Structure 1
Amino acid sequence: MRTLSVKSITSIALLIVTLVSCHSPAYISGHIEGSITKDVKLYLIEPDLLNEVAASYFGRVIDSAVVYPDGSFEFRNLPTSKNPMLLELVIQTSGKTPNYKQTDDPTSSNYMPLLWQLGEPLYVTAKLESFQKSLSIQQPSEVNKALLDLRDINQNAYQTHLAGKEWQLEDGKELLEKEQAVLQYRNELITFADSTKYLMPALVALRWVSPVNDYERVPEFLVEQCTKWKQQPEHPWVEQLCKQSELSNLPVLVGNTFPNLELPTINKDTLLVNNQLGNKLTIIDLWASWCAPCRIENREILVPLWDDYHDQGLQIIAYSLESDASAWKTAVERDGADRWIQASELQGDDAPFLKKIRIQTIPANFILDDKGVVIAKNIHGKALVDLVKSYMQN
């Protein structure tokens, strides 16, 4: 019987390892920098639905990996689908739920969306305390490079418009300032989604615009994204996007004709919107007596606009979200808002008018041309003054 030498055994072992590795599926591995304890784990989350992307506590855990004391990790139980898949790499400490994703502040987010393609290994490095912000991929694919670019845009936009800001929300002006800051932040993500040629980064941008799935202030964005990607109907997320962007689910859009609805007025009359349009411009203003920013807008913006431009063709039709007629009338008189049309069905949050135009948040407004077509929406303060002044002078 022939005995193999140690050298021969070693050579055979290396050959076996080489053969096995050549036929093993590619995996995700990498290194985490920071104070690693035995409680640090990474999870791969697969969102089943579009609305599960970037949504905390949603998505299926398909694999987990321990982060070793030296910071290394690797996943082996990966999907074998030949189609590219969006996965979310999530890091957790202290026994937190695997699919908990920190979505409030991107500078401390604990997850990162990645495109997984069978046969293309991913080597990832990141810092424990700033996982998403610091994450990098060795030689990323074009799609993963786009996702990293989106991550950088998201981080920078958050720092520019929202980080460290504190608003006194009881103050009507500061409430509108916060809304404007949020919109500016969102617009940078929207610009990316509109310009990218890759579906998955666009859909991640869409979800980062609103992880809670609230697109009331930017419904046109949903419609534009459906139009852009519906040529790829084989992906179920595109179908879900287009379902969400159906006009029956969205507020009246810029470019639409505002519906000719019947409204009960403060004088116990009834009017049709189309019969009250201004010769040049109409503001449909949605407000309430209990809404602090609405009251400020009445006194400081709408009254001067009315006084300056009503005789030149400006009309204002105000709808108030009220249930108390006395409080409504008192607010109208105190604000000087009795100059223009005031309407309400006095049904509070259950107001039929708001349901018909699919609005839930006030203050809100629609700016209509002389034909009743919406030319702008939700413009407040100086921006509204500038818009009206420019339009009326042309």
Structure 2
Amino acid sequence: MTEAGRGIRLNDQQRLAWLRLIRSDRVGPATFRDLLNHYGTAAAALEALPELSRRGGAIRGLRIAAREDAEAEIAALSRLGGRLVAIGEPGYPAHLRTIDAPPPLLSVFGPEEIAARPAVAIVGARNASLAGRKMARKIAEGLGEAGLVVVSGLARGIDAAAHEAATETGTIAVLAGGLDHIYPPENEPLLQAIVASGGAAVTEMPLGWSPRARDFPRRNRLISGISLAVVVVEAAKRSGSLHTARFAAEQGRDVFAVPGSPLDPRAEGCNHLIREGATLTVGADDVIEGIAPLLGRPPAPPPQLEDADTPMATRPEEPDDTARARIIEALGPTPTSVDEIIRETGVAPAAVQLVLLELDLAGRLERHGGGAVSLA
């Protein structure tokens, strides 16, 4: 299944098991990774879920995604012209693989090739001014002429202007809902034009999923994760675009901001970013110059995440009650790094990870950035 130098290719049964696992209750990207690394295959992890949840102290049983539901999602996605792409497969954005807890599966419209090209995100206000939309188009056109893919969130205003300007040179729309629930609906023709011109649409959400307010920060995290840099054009003080910039900084991406009048509330966020250290930009050349050292440099290797063809022959030894009690005692409401838990308890790393999985699947653990955890 592994092709030397080219990542992985899941077979149909592995892809089905991956989909069932990530669609099961309480299995997010970080939990998915730990389950796969511990059990070797998604199929083996699925079998282990009920017992893990019980040992973690779950009050109610864990809902595991049904095989027929996963098969129906794959079939419906195929009928729409989309496909599921697993982390490490061709078509999965190379830089997205390197963020903390990347999505194990993406639903994708569009060709594999665009995911391998270097990308820059352009984001900003939905209620953008004419000048702001003009600036977004200008920057997007310049980036496209330089061979860069433009990434944005298909929202009204700045996002739409950036996508429109980069449709012919390559753009990726990151969605907060399923591929069959385009938001806002009036931008569906724009998305069709993007895909028809060789661009792409990606989401980590299932088909049928209507985006909710809390889904947009997840989308913004992917926008910055796919990109080498984020350019913010008009953003109010509490704009979602500032969340994208924050995610970019956490992910080690460069942040650029277009300055604006202090009298315009839509410029307040950009001016704040510049004061905090973002690079002031008035055109694509500023961005291209800023990321020049990154171009041509391969992304860092992603965290190991591979579904073996068969389950592991031997499992790490299960922690005894004393070890389990020490791990739980070390946890509290304050986020603590897993490395610190291992160091302070003296319990083997594999045993610590297993107990954290149990608590996570029982709904008793919260995960935080940088690999920290706390009791819910």
Band of TM-score, shorter chain: under 0.3
Structure having the higher Rg: 1
| TM-score, with length taken from structure 2 | 0.23
Query: Which structure would you say has the larger RCO, counting Cα contacts within 8 Å and 6 or more residues apart?
Result: 2
User: Which structure has greater strand proportion?
Assistant: 1
| TM-score, with length taken from structure 1 | 0.22
